[in-house]
Amino acid sequence: MPRTDWGWLITPEELASWILHEDEELLVINKPGLVICHPSKHGPWSSLIGACREYFGAERLHMPSRLDRETSGVVVMARNAKLASHLQRAMERRRVMKIYHAILYGETEHAVIVDKPIGKMAGSAVILRRGVVEEGPPAITEFEPVAHGGGYTLVKVLPRTGRLHQIRVHANFIGHPVVGDKIYGPDEQHFIEFLQTGWTPKLAATLILRRQALHASEWVYGPYHFTAPMPSDFQTLLDAVGYTL
């Protein structure tokens, strides 16, 4: 993706390489990290849905759910409003299974189910920050270690609920934040510093990855089962600690 002074610009060639599935009703994309899902002021090729509309000549596409800018992986789009509404209801009723993979700081070999409510974090300098708060709505996340070494752990993650920042909040709660996470990583001030100065060698030395190491690897509903391969930046980090996917 060509770098600009405001972010990334998607090219048609790149978008074509991200397509996981296409039919008359659905479009499924393996979104890279640092690509935003929804339209921006920088034109259609600055967002995933805008680029898809341009590339496929679609007047409208519907995104029942999205991924954060820094999260990579499966994004499902519906070509009609009826299907989009159906999928959104299915997700609200927890009938769609989403499986993630993440790389966490620290090493652990024990699976854990975190059953802790999540809500707005009082006293944080970051307005968006969430945390485990007793008055928050319920949230449940399963973490299953896949491999560990070199100070990191690769985990398979199954969120049973869909709260804002849920995986990242619960990873922080168990003492193993997601690598590269500017808000829930070693220090939330990294997020403020990033907004002020952009990506710097200082941030790179602490956060390791330019974006949070969170990947939506599988999406399952009824006859649909879509899988996105692990991203290259995951493999680069894992190679450095001697583990190959």
Kindly report the length of the chain.
245
Tokens of 105: 């700081």
How many Cβ atoms from other residues are within 10 Å of residue 119's Cβ?
A: 17
**DSSP secondary structure code for residue 231 in this structure:** P
- Choose among 172, 51, 50: nearest CA to 116: 172
d(CA 103, CA 148): 9
Handedness of CA 85, 89, 91, 92 (dihedral sign): positive
Q: Give the number of other Cβ atoms within 10 Å of residue 89's Cβ.
A: 12
Choosing from 5, 23, 68, 115, the catalytic residue is: 68
Measure Cα distances from 184 to 44, 90, 139 in Å.
31, 29, 17
Helix, strand, coil tally for the chain in percent (to 5): 25, 30, 45
68 is catalytic: yes
Task: Kindly list the catalytic residues.
Answer: 68
